[in-house]
Structure 1
Amino acid sequence: MKIEHLAIWVTDLERTRNFYERYFGAIAGAKYHNPTKKFSSYFLSFKEGARLELMQKPDIPGMTDALQEYLGLSHFAVATGSKEKVDALTEELRTDGYLVVGEPRTTGDGYYESVVLDPEQNRIEITI
């Protein structure tokens, strides 16, 4: 078995889609829209690994504090292939105004990673 996809609620579907396309090489499928339910989504595909579904519906409540962690999905990790790419992508995101909440480092369990927030304040672990 494998994880086929993860899904996250977002307030700005297009901005978040553009973020994952630009920084992580995602390729968006066709936009799905259900006017009756006021629901829209994109499935984002990556060269390797699970897909990410971005979902938008106007009545989904938002997170109250992005720096506070909550029960439920904590983060997802994206592998870049090298320590240098982790560092470069982290710096590019910081330069472009995204919040780095975990500086690049080797963790106690041996991962080299950083943690950034996407436009919707979801945590992304950038790793090798």
Structure 2
Amino acid sequence: MKIEHIAIWVKDLEKMKTFYVSYFNGTSSSKYHNKDKEFESYFLTFDGGARLEIMRKSGIDKPDMDDRIGWAHIAISLGSRESVNQMTARLQNDGYKHVNGPRVTGDGYYESVMEDPEGNLLELTV
């Protein structure tokens, strides 16, 4: 089995596309726009074949993350501790919220947790 892609609702489609393309070398599809449903999306493809669909639709707001059941984070493997450290510093310097790390977790992962432009959690891992 292979997960084909993960999708996330966003408020600012262009800002989120720029973030994932700029920081994680994603390649973007052309924008899909269904005017009747007021729906727009991009598919972002990353090294190794992972894909993220970012979607926006009129009337859909991001729910409050407190006590929310569902996706908790996206983990992005950067290949080395040094890469995790460098990306953490880069995102922090560019004003993105640092949640914790870099650290070794209880289950042995080396990770740092950051927020994307809309507050979604990104685990930066080896």
TM-score using structure 2 length: 0.95
In structure 2, distance between residues paired with 1:26 and 1:69 = 30
Structure 1: any 5+ residue segments left out of the alignment? none
Query: Cα deviations across residues 41-68 of structure 1 (Å, max 9, x unaligned)?
Result: 0000001142000000121122335xx3
Partner of 2:14: 14
TM-score using structure 1 length: 0.94
Letter of the structure 1 residue corresponding to residue 94 of structure 2: D
2:79 to 61, 81, 97: 81
Regions of 4+ moved over 3 Å: none
Partner of 1:102: 100
Task: Please say if 1:119 is aligned against 2:117.
Answer: yes
Q: Secondary structure at the match of 2:108?
A: coil
Change (3 A) 1:111 1:69: farther
Please provide the CA RMSD for this pair.
1.1
Counterpart contact for 2:11–2:61, Cα < 8 Å: no
CA-CA distance at 1:102 after TM superposition: 1.7
In structure 2, distance between residues paired with 1:61 and 1:22 = 25
CA-CA distance at 1:69 after TM superposition: 5.2
Partner of 1:28: 28
Q: Secondary structure at the match of 1:97?
A: coil
In structure 2, distance between residues paired with 1:63 and 1:116 = 19
Counterpart contact for 1:98–1:118, Cα < 8 Å: yes
Counterpart contact for 1:11–1:58, Cα < 8 Å: no
Partner of 2:70: 72
